[in-house]
């Protein structure tokens, strides 16, 4: 599959920002870190990566809008798409010298009459491993030049499921505990690696069989959701519907695994 112009633009920007992140990751003890909320930190590396992405992408696609984790929303010209960017997904990992973090970029199309519609292109780039996961609507999901498909396992007892764990100031620990109590006895294992964009990319790649998490922002998941869907998987809210971004709750997996995982999650919530 030939890489399109928009994916080439996104990957070039991500690699340039990723080079700086790798450099700063190697000098982690020297980073100046500011606190912006309970257990929620942003580093100079995060801000520099976002600025690099903005500069590169705005130069390549003049007039497009942006929605970014740090800088917020920057309006573009009417009728043009926007980039949704998380410049450093896995900031806590990064600041603790854990090499599990990524750059996430998605392209969202405008709706006729206003508002925002479908995600049509996605890139999740892991600077440490130099893995570039990308997808375009209708063209599949890929790791470099290798086509990705969600795992074929159908039985939960064979499955490895990814999640995020609530932490200080973020998430509903009581809800998460109920879901964990329902899911854990049914599966081969549960993993919490700390970067939702990579968790979803790994579902697309078949490394994880499924994923659930709540209290996520759109920049955490926009690219990963398209990767999963283009790899043949499903993404929904906890009720099995299509309001995952609105509700900030996400279940992902192959058709068989998604369905079974969703039923466990919904059952746990009904039993609250």
Residue 192: the pLDDT is 97
The 10s digit of each residue's pLDDT in 63-88 is: 999 999 989 999 999 999 999 999 99
Would you place residue 97 in the very low, low, confident or very high pLDDT band (cuts 50, 70, 90)? confident
Would you list the domain boundaries of the chain?
A: 5-147, 156-270
Between CA 116 and CA 201 the distance in angstroms is 23
Whole-model pTM over 0.85: yes
CA 266 to chain centre: 22
Residue 178 is encoded by which pair of tokens? Answer: 């109920």
Residue 53 is encoded by which pair of tokens? Answer: 């992405």
Topology (CATH) of 156-270: D-Maltodextrin-Binding Protein; domain 2 (3.40.190)
- Taking residues 143-150, what's their average pLDDT? 96
Residue 3: the pLDDT is 83
The 10s digit of each residue's pLDDT in 192-243 is: 999 999 999 999 999 999 999 999 999 999 999 999 999 999 999 999 999 9
Topology (CATH) of 5-147: Fructose-1,6-Bisphosphatase; Chain A, domain 1 (3.30.540)
Locate the DSSP E strands across the chain.
33-37, 40-43, 65-68, 72-74, 82-89, 102-110, 116-126, 131-136, 140-143, 146-147, 160-163, 189-191, 210-214, 234-236, 249-253
Return the exposure string of 106-142: e unless at least 16 CB atoms fall within 10 Å of the residue's CB, then b: bbbebeeeeeeeebbbbbbbbbeeebbbbbbeebbbb
Which residue numbers belong to the known binding site for Mg(2+)?
A: 69, 86, 88-89, 220
Residue 89: the pLDDT is 97
Residue 109 is encoded by which pair of tokens? Answer: 């199309």
CA 204 to chain centre: 11
Which residue numbers belong to the known binding site?
A: 69, 86, 88-89, 220
Residue 41: the pLDDT is 57
Of the CA atoms within 13 Å of residue 231, those in its CB half-sphere come to 36
- Taking residues 22-39, what's their average pLDDT? 69
Residue 38: the pLDDT is 40
Residue 39 pLDDT > 50, yes or no? no
Residue 33 is encoded by which pair of tokens? Answer: 């870190």
**Beta strands at 160-163 and 189-191: parallel, antiparallel or unpaired:** parallel
Residue 95: the pLDDT is 84
Residue 32: the pLDDT is 62
pLDDT, greater one: 27 or 179:
179
């Amino acid at each position: 599959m030939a890489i399109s112009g928009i994916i080439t633009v996104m990957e070039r920007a991500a690699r340039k920002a990723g080079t700086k992140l790798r450099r700063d990751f190697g000098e982690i003890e020297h980073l100046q870190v500011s606190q912006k909320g309970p257990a929620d930190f942003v580093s100079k590396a995060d801000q520099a990566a976002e600025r690099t992405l903005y500069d590169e992408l705005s130069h390549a696609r003049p007039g497009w809008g942006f929605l970014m984790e740090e800088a917020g929303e920057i309006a573009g010209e009417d009728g043009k798409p926007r980039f949704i960017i998380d410049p450093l997904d896995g900031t806590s990992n990064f600041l603790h010298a854990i090499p599990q973090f990524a750059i996430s970029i998605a392209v969202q199309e405008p709706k006729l009459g206003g508002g925002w519609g479908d995600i049509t292109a996605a890139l999740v780039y892991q600077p440490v491993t130099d893995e570039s996961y990308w997808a375009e609507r209708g063209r599949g999901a890929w790791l470099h030049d290798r086509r990705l498909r969600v795992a074929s396992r159908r039985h939960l007892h064979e499955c490895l499921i990814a999640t995020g764990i609530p932490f200080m100031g973020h998430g509903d620990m009581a809800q998460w505990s109920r879901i964990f109590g329902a899911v854990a006895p049914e599966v081969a294992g549960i993993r919490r690696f700390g970067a939702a964009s990579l968790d979803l990319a790994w579902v697309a790649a078949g490394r994880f069989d499924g994923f659930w998490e709540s209290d996520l922002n759109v920049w955490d998941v926009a690219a990963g959701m398209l990767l999963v869907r283009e790899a043949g998987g499903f993404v929904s809210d906890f009720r099995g519907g299509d309001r995952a971004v609105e509700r900030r709750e996400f279940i992902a997996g192959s058709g068989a695994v998604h369905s079974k995982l969703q039923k466990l999650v919904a059952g746990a919530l009904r039993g609250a």
